[in-house]
Amino acid sequence: MERNRGIAVAPGVAIGPALVLGSEDFRIPQRFVRVDAIETEVARFRAALVAAVAEITEHEALASSRLGEQYGAIFAAHRQLAQDPRLVKEVEDLIRQKCHAPEFAASRVLRQYARTLRNLGDRYFAERASDLYDLEKRILRHLLGERKEELAHLSAPVIVLAHNLTPSETANLDTRFVLGFATEVGGKSSHTAILAGALELPAVVGVGSFLSEVAGGETIIIDGNEGLVIIDPDEETLGSYRDAEQKRQSTAVKLKSLGPLQSETRDGVLIRLNGNIEFPHEVKHCTDRGAEGIGLYRTEFLYLENDQEPSEEVQFEAYSEVIRAFPDKPVIIRTLDLGAEKFPQSMREVIEATPNPALGLRSLRLTLQNQAMFKTQLRAILRAAVLGDVRLMFPLVSTLLELRQAKMILADVVEDLHEEQIPFRREIQVGMMVEVPSAALLADEFAREVDFFSIGTNDLIQYTLAVDRANPAVANLYSSADPSIFRMIRFVLAAAEKHKVSVSVCGQMSSDPIYTPLLVGMGLRELSVTPHAIPEVKQAVRSLTVPQAEEIARHAQSLEVARDVENYLRGEFKKLSADLV
Ligand code: PEP
Ligand code: MG
C-alpha cells in the first residue's frame, strides 16, 4: 500500500481500478525490428508522417483564421520540418540500414538535430530546437497511438490517473465509468479542479510524480476530502474508507435537507446564494440544493466539450435550458473565457507555444479580436434572454476601453436583431468580473459603467500575488486569505456601495465555508458558489449573526499573513458549526 498526498479539489471517495494515462514522455516499446519487417516498418513511419502533416496543416489553418497569421506560422514551420526530405531520409536510412524501430529512429534523428541547434548557444536556434521536440512528440504519438484515446472507449469503471488533464479533457470524461481522478500537476483553483466539482467526481490534483509507481489495474482510493491517493490499499484501509464514505453521504443528505430553508443569518439578514455552473445539466444540482439563481455560467465549456465553435442555435438551446430552470430568478451568463488553461484540443498547440498564456490573448481580449464569434454568442444570449431574468457578464476586463468596446459590440448586436425582427431582450443588465487587479483598483471608475460586479477571486489571487493558480510548486503562495486580496475586495465593495452597483463573489473562495463569516462581515450579501458547496455555505450563513461576522472580518483583516488568517478563520468556523468540520 502506498499513500500519496496532493491537493483535495472535489469531495468524496472513489475506489476502483487504475487507468494510467502517463506523462507526455513516450516510452518506446522496442528499439529494433526484424530484417524481414523493415519495409513494413518504413511504411508505418510514412503513414505516421502523413497523419502528422495533415494534423499540423489543420492546426495551421485554424490558428491563422482564429488568432492571426503569426500563430499559423508556428505550425507552418513544423510542417516544413516534417516534410524536409533530408530529415525523412535519415530516419528511413536508420530503419533500413540499422534495423531501428521507426519510433527509435525518428526520436534519434530529431533529437540529434535539436541538440545541435541548442548547442549553438543562440536563443533563436534554441527556440527552433523546441519545434523539433514538438515534432518528435507528434510523430511518436501517431506511431504509438494516443493513449488518451482510451478515455473515449471506456466500458468499465476506472479511476483515471494522469500527469495532467486539460479542462477540455476533464469536461469530456465519461462520468458513467470514471469514478474519480488524480493528476500529478494542477492547483486548487485550476479549471480542471473546478470541473471535478462540476462533474461531482472525487479528485486530487498536484500529487507530484507518482505515476511511475502504477502500472494500471491496481486498486486505487481517491480521497477527495483529505487529498490522498492510495495505491493498493490493504483490507483494513478499504474497510475504513467504505465506512467513512457512508457517514459522509448521510451528512450530505442531512445538509441537502437545508435546500428549502432561507439562506439568512441568525439575525434575519438574507445572503443570496447562487450557483456556478459549467454545463446546462448542472442546473439540477443547483435547484436540488436550493440555489436562488445562477451567479456564473461559464459558457466556454460549450466550446471545450465539442472542440469546435458551437452555432448560434446550439448556444441558444444551451442558454435556454439554463434559463428555463430559473424562469423568474437571475441567471448571469458570462461571455466566453477561452485561453490560458481553457482551450479546445484544436487550440492546444497554439496555447502551449505561447509564453505566459495567462497574460496573453485570453478571455475578453480573445473575443474582442474575434468579433464574429463574439457576436454569435451575444445574439444567442439576447435571444434566450426573453425567457427570464438574464444578465450578461464580461470576463477578465482589465481596462475601461475594453469594457466600452464590448458594450459597443453588444449595441451593434441589439441593432442587428432589431433590424432582423428577431425576438430578443433589449434591456439587459450588463456586469463584469473583477478578477484583474487593475479592475479592482479602478472599481470606482468601472462602477459608473456597469450594473453589477462579480469578484473572481480565482484569477484575482493569481494576478495579485503573481502565482499560477494551477501550479502545485507555488500552491503555498496561492491563498484566498492573503491580506492583499481583502484589500482588493474592499476597493470593489466601496465602489459598489458608492455607485449603488450590486456585487457578488463567484471565485472558489466563496465556496469554502470558512470564508463565509469573513465575506458576510465585509458586507457581501450575495455569493455564487459551486453547487455541491451550497448546503455547507448555507449552514455557515445560518450559524452566524451579522455583528458576529463583522467582528470576525475585523479581526481577520488585522492579521498580517495568510497562514494566520486561515488558521483564525478555520478556528472560528469550527466554533460556529462544530458538527460540520
Ligand atoms: C475567477 O477567476 O474567480 C472565476 C470565477 O473565473 P474562472 O475560474 O472561470 O477563471
Ligand atoms: Mg477567472
Please list the alpha-helical segments (H only) found in 307-447. 312-325, 348-352, 363-369, 371-384, 400-419, 437-441, 443-446
Q: Is 273 in the same domain as 323? A: yes
Q: Is 296 in the same domain as 400? A: yes
pLDDT recorded at residue 173: 87
Q: Would strands 502-505 and 452-455 be described as parallel, antiparallel, or unpaired?
A: parallel
Count of beta carbons in the 10 Å neighbourhood of residue 510: 27
Average pLDDT, stretch 218-222? Answer: 95
Name the band, by pLDDT with cuts 50, 70 and 90, for residue 581: very low
Domain with residue 210: its CATH number is 3.50.30.10
Domain with residue 117: its CATH number is 1.10.274.10
Name the band, by pLDDT with cuts 50, 70 and 90, for residue 115: confident
* Atom in ligand 1 nearest the alpha carbon of residue 435: 2
Single out the residue in 128, 143, 158 at which a domain terminates.
143
Q: Is 158 in the same domain as 128? A: no
pLDDT recorded at residue 449: 98
Average pLDDT, stretch 356-366? Answer: 93
Please check the confidence at residue 146 and state whether its pLDDT lies above 80. Answer: no
d(CA 10, CA 278): 15
Please list the alpha-helical segments (H only) found in 534-579. 534-542, 546-558, 562-576
Domain with residue 405: its CATH number is 3.20.20.60
Q: Which amino acid is at 534?
A: I
C-alpha of residue 189 to centroid of ligand 2, in Å = 10
Q: Which residue has the cell 446546462?
A: 280
Please name the residue whose Cα sits nearest to atom 3 of ligand 1.
456
Q: Which residue has the cell 467526481?
A: 201
Single out the residue in 113, 143, 173 at which a domain terminates.
143
% of the chain at pLDDT higher than 90: 66
Q: Single out the residue of 245, 239, 210 nearest to residue 224, CA to CA.
A: 245
Q: Would strands 526-529 and 272-277 be described as parallel, antiparallel, or unpaired?
A: parallel
Which is it for the CA torsion 347, 349, 354, 355, positive or negative? positive
Single out the residue in 143, 165, 199 at which a domain terminates.
143
Q: Which amino acid is at 396?
A: L
Q: Is 281 in the same domain as 395? A: yes
d(CA 195, CA 160): 14
Q: Is 117 in the same domain as 65? A: yes
In a domain, 252, yes or no: no
Indicate the DSSP class of residue 579: G
Name the band, by pLDDT with cuts 50, 70 and 90, for residue 165: confident
Count of beta carbons in the 10 Å neighbourhood of residue 136: 20
Q: Is 123 in the same domain as 155? A: no
Phi-psi region of 22 (alpha: psi -120 to 50; beta: other; left: phi over 0): left
In a domain, 480, yes or no: no
Q: Is 302 in the same domain as 273? A: yes
In a domain, 563, yes or no: yes
d(CA 426, CA 416): 11
Q: Which residue has the cell 488568517?
A: 565
* Residue ranges lining ligand 1, Cβ < 6 Å: 194, 296, 298, 337, 435, 456-459, 506-507
In a domain, 244, yes or no: no
Please check the confidence at residue 149 and state whether its pLDDT lies above 70. Answer: no
- CA distances to 34, 103, 104 from 97, rounded to whole Å, are 12, 15, 13
Q: Are the C-beta atoms of 557 and 281 separated by less than 8 Å?
A: no
Q: Which phi and psi (to 5°) does residue 167 adopt?
A: -55, -35
Q: Are the C-beta atoms of 184 and 229 separated by less than 8 Å?
A: no
Q: Is 214 in the same domain as 289? A: no
C-alpha of residue 458 to centroid of ligand 2, in Å = 6
In a domain, 227, yes or no: yes
Q: Are the C-beta atoms of 216 and 21 separated by less than 8 Å?
A: no
Q: Is 205 in the same domain as 118? A: no
d(CA 530, CA 249): 18
* Atom in ligand 1 nearest the alpha carbon of residue 456: 3
Q: Are the C-beta atoms of 80 and 91 separated by less than 8 Å?
A: no
- On average, the pLDDT of the chain sits at 90
C-alpha of residue 446 to centroid of ligand 2, in Å = 17
Q: Which phi and psi (to 5°) does residue 308 adopt?
A: -160, 170
Q: Is 11 in the same domain as 101? A: no
% of the chain at pLDDT higher than 70: 96
Q: What is the pLDDT of residues 45-91, one digit of tens each?
A: 999 999 999 988 987 887 788 777 877 787 888 899 899 999 999 99
Average pLDDT, stretch 532-539? Answer: 93
Give the DSSP per-residue string, 418-432: HHTT----S--EEEE
d(CA 9, CA 32): 44
Domain coverage including residue 398: 267-432+506-576
| Bridge partners, 294 (sequence order) | 275, 331
| Residues in CB range of 184: below 8 A, 6 or more apart | 23, 162, 163, 164, 206, 207, 208, 209, 210, 211
Which residues are annotated as catalytic?
Answer: 191, 506
In a domain, 499, yes or no: no
| Chain centroid, CA 421 distance in Å | 37
Please check the confidence at residue 26 and state whether its pLDDT lies above 70. Answer: no
Please check the confidence at residue 147 and state whether its pLDDT lies above 70. Answer: no
Which residue has better confidence, 141 or 410? 410
Please name the residue whose Cα sits nearest to atom 4 of ligand 1.
456
Crossing angle (nearest 10°) for helices 546-558 and 562-576: 160
Q: Is 49 in the same domain as 159? A: no
- CA distances to 13, 227, 263 from 198, rounded to whole Å, are 16, 18, 22
Please check the confidence at residue 23 and state whether its pLDDT lies above 60. Answer: no
Q: Are the C-beta atoms of 541 and 518 separated by less than 8 Å?
A: no
Q: How many domains does the chain have?
A: 3
In a domain, 454, yes or no: no
Q: What is the pLDDT of residues 473-510, one digit of tens each?
A: 898 999 999 999 999 999 999 999 999 999 999 999 99
Q: Is 197 in the same domain as 130? A: no
C-alpha of residue 454 to centroid of ligand 1, in Å = 10
Nearest bound ligand to the CA of residue 192? 1
In a domain, 441, yes or no: no
Name the band, by pLDDT with cuts 50, 70 and 90, for residue 213: confident
Please check the confidence at residue 184 and state whether its pLDDT lies above 60. Answer: yes
Query: Which of 433, 434, 469, 528 has most ligand 1 atoms within 8 Å of its beta carbon, as the pocket-test mutant?
Result: 433
pLDDT recorded at residue 137: 81
Nearest bound ligand to the CA of residue 458? 1
Give the DSSP per-residue string, 415-476: HHHHHTT----S--EEEEEE-SHHHHHTHHHHTTT-SEEEE-HHHHHHHHTT--TT-GGGGG
Rg (CA), the chain: 26
